[in-house]
Structure 1
Amino acid sequence: MKQMSMACFAMFLGLVPDLLWAQDFYRGKLITLVQDSTPGGVGQLRTQALIPVLQKHIPGNPKIVIQFMPGGGGRTAANHLYNNAPRDGLTIGRVSSGLVTSAILGLPGVQYDIDKFIYLGSGHNEVNNVFFSRSQLGLDNLNKLKAATGLRIGGQSVGHSNYVIARLFAWLLDLKGPKFVVGFSGAEMDVGLLQGELDARANSAETVVQRTPDFINKRLMNFHGVAEIPHGFRYDHPAFRELPALHTFGRTEKEKGVLAMFAAFGRFSQAFILPPGTPKERVTVLKDAFRKSWKDPEFHENWKKMTRADASPLMPEELEELVKNIPRDPEDVKRYNIIAGAESLPKR
């Protein structure tokens, strides 16, 4: 027993120099944070809420700068991080749900393995998306909504999260002949609704409250349902409290399988990753810094001030477990691809 204890102690001593060197490694260095989106918007604010806190918790207090790398629904940045980015602990990725959805759904252009990235956690895993129509249509309850024909439902692009959510609502509510119209920015869709060019859309509850409060206060829109991610989480606003949850419309196992996949994709939101092959001692330092940052009151204050919402962090191990457990059944993947695509919705 004594010999085993001495051996363990010796092993620990052997690791200490590497760890201490890794801690000192970041002094005076520059960390590049590759973000898979364009500048501006809530996504950038969320990243900026973290950066000063993370700099504080990384030994040596390195400077962190953002490099924006949009394209391919997040695949451009993900491919770069997996295949081209330096594996020295000085490049961190800030990726959206496209990282996992593109890989699991088998979309073209994926040149990475989601199970080989190193996960550092996420500041945000709770979200509500609401489905609503312009009040001029008079669709003020679900029966009237289901009776309507040919609703023009807006979306940014085929496969965009808001597009998929709107398609899920249309599918599970058995809407009659919905027409999905894409090619808008989020703000353009709101204008299109007000001008009668569109009839309905999905959007995050948080964005509706912050960007278009008149939709609620002046009753310009009728709200029909909310997609809860995770199930049970509800954005605290009276306009949304009594809305039915999307997952409650799922009746069959095939519908529930698609909804489970959707919920898992939704929880993977603006996560932080390292390229595979990053030295273990630097991974240890960065994971510890991210854990401390996610728990730091300063981070939560920054987030609240910048986004007017509460942070909902996932620790590195929680995010890794989430990715590991995302449903990957081939039949669910096939069905989800149809819903996320441009062809007609599948029959229930």
Structure 2
Amino acid sequence: MNKRFACLVGLLASLFVTVAASAALGQQFYKGKTIRIIVGFAAGGGFDTYARAIARHLGKHIPGSPAIVVENMGGAGSLLAANEIYNRAKPDGVTVGNFIGSLVQQQLFETKGVEFDARKFEWLGVPVQDSTACALTKASGITSLERWFAAKEPVKLGGEAPGANDSDVPRLLKAVLGLPIHLVEGYKGTSQIRLAAEAGEIAGGCWTWESIKTTWRQGLESGNVNVVIQVNPQRLPDLPNVPNALEHAKTEEGREIIRAGILNSAAILRVYALPPGTPKDRVELMRDAFLATMKDPEFAAEMKKANLSINPLSGAEVEKIAHSFFKLPPAEVAKLKAILQPGK
């Protein structure tokens, strides 16, 4: 018995030394460092808002308490940022990418300009599993889904590029529901789409409700902006009277397209990742720090004050979802590609 006890004590002591050494190495590495979070969208949008809130709290959960800065690299629906993280950022654990997780689909579609293999990113997690809605200005005249269906001309919506939810959602709604939509792409973030809508250049756009309710709060509260349709597994508690796209899809095939093209992507939309090849101990340290930030009472209080939701996924959970896209039947992938990349 004494021999077994001695072995157990020795094993625990060895484990403690290993963990302590790992923490010490992490602290030694990150102390005095500055971690960059590269956001794939312009300042002022929903992605940027979340990233800056996370940056204010993440450092205290990393050994060595490094500084955290946010940089914006808008363009191509965050594809530029994803390519930057994958190909040019050093895999040393101090550069984090924040881009749209649904870009995984663009790899499946063999989209020109995709310079990464999503299966090789080191995923840190997402702060919230997103919901989707379409918000249009009162001035556009489209204040209800009925009016939208009855529109005599296609309604102009703003988007960024294929792969961005503000481009993909309108395309899918047009294909599945038959909504009259004219998609105007090239915007570098939802903040630019909002400004264009307020200027009367477009009617509005479709992106995450978590972002819309925060960054367009004034328009919603004044009645100058209306949520006309949502695209979610069921109606959100926030939007009990807003029609859900699944309710208006006339066939099961249409509903499957919505699930595959929108709902399954929304969970990992607001993703954070490290470059491939980042040392595993730093990946685990950063994953732990990310989840610790999500549970931080001060972070939670700030998010509540800003009307931002927290409903995180771990890096391992994001990895599982990202890999699942590569298991879709070829016929379903082809159908989605035909809708999301017409003419290609």
Instruction: Quote the Cα distance in structure 2 between the aligned partners of 1:138 and 1:91.
Output: 42
| Map of 2:15 onto structure 1 | 12
Distance 1:145 1:300, change over 3 A: same
Alignment length, in residue pairs?
Answer: 332
**Displacement of 1:188:** 4.4
Instruction: Quote the Cα distance in structure 1 between the aligned partners of 2:37 and 2:183.
Output: 35
Distance 1:137 1:333, change over 3 A: same
Instruction: Quote the Cα distance in structure 2 between the aligned partners of 1:246 and 1:119.
Output: 30
Distance 1:39 1:153, change over 3 A: closer
Instruction: Quote the Cα distance in structure 2 between the aligned partners of 1:212 and 1:332.
Output: 37
SS at match of 2:118: coil
Structure 2 stretches of 5 or more lacking a match?
A: none
- Aligned: 1:110 with 2:114: yes
| Map of 1:58 onto structure 2 | 62
1:155-176: CA deviation from partner (whole Å, max 9, x where unpaired): 2345242233223333333346
Q: TM-score by structure 1 length?
A: 0.80
| Map of 1:241 onto structure 2 | 240
Instruction: Quote the Cα distance in structure 1 between the aligned partners of 2:277 and 2:15.
Output: 22
1:82-131: CA deviation from partner (whole Å, max 9, x where unpaired): 22222222222222235423223321122211111111111121223126
SS at match of 1:121: strand
- Aligned: 1:260 with 2:259: yes
| Map of 1:174 onto structure 2 | 178
**Displacement of 1:11:** 6.8
Pick the aligned partner of 2:104 from 76, 100, 106: 100
| Map of 1:339 onto structure 2 | 339
1:233-266: CA deviation from partner (whole Å, max 9, x where unpaired): 6162xxx322221123334453233212221222
- Aligned: 1:44 with 2:48: yes
Instruction: Quote the Cα distance in structure 1 between the aligned partners of 2:174 and 2:79.
Output: 28
Letter of the aligned partner of 2:308 in structure 1? Answer: A
- Aligned: 1:207 with 2:238: no
Pick the aligned partner of 2:194 from 177, 187, 202: 187
8 Å contact kept, 1:35–1:95: yes
| Map of 1:275 onto structure 2 | 275
8 Å contact kept, 1:34–1:92: yes
8 Å contact kept, 1:93–1:272: yes
Structure 1 stretches of 5 or more lacking a match?
A: none
**Displacement of 1:50:** 1.0
| Map of 2:234 onto structure 1 | 232
8 Å contact kept, 2:194–2:204: no
Instruction: Report which stretch shifted further, 82-91 or 16-25.
Output: 16-25
1:41-89: CA deviation from partner (whole Å, max 9, x where unpaired): 3322211111121111101101112233333332222222222222222
Question: What's the C-alpha RMSD, in Å, of the aligned pairs?
Answer: 3.4
8 Å contact kept, 1:135–1:222: no
Instruction: Quote the Cα distance in structure 2 between the aligned partners of 1:67 and 1:133.
Output: 30
Instruction: Quote the Cα distance in structure 1 between the aligned partners of 2:50 and 2:12.
Output: 42
Distance 1:24 1:73, change over 3 A: same
| Map of 2:153 onto structure 1 | 150
Instruction: Quote the Cα distance in structure 1 between the aligned partners of 2:42 and 2:226.
Output: 31
Instruction: Quote the Cα distance in structure 1 between the aligned partners of 2:273 and 2:58.
Output: 14
Aligned-pair identity in percent equals 25
SS at match of 1:100: helix
**Displacement of 1:182:** 4.2
8 Å contact kept, 1:123–1:313: yes
| Map of 2:165 onto structure 1 | 161
8 Å contact kept, 1:122–1:270: yes
8 Å contact kept, 2:133–2:227: no
8 Å contact kept, 2:133–2:206: yes
| Map of 1:288 onto structure 2 | 288
SS at match of 1:302: helix
Distance 1:27 1:53, change over 3 A: same
SS at match of 2:43: coil
8 Å contact kept, 2:129–2:312: yes
Q: TM-score by structure 2 length?
A: 0.81
8 Å contact kept, 1:294–1:315: no
**Displacement of 1:304:** 2.9
Letter of the aligned partner of 1:109 in structure 2? Answer: G
SS at match of 1:244: coil
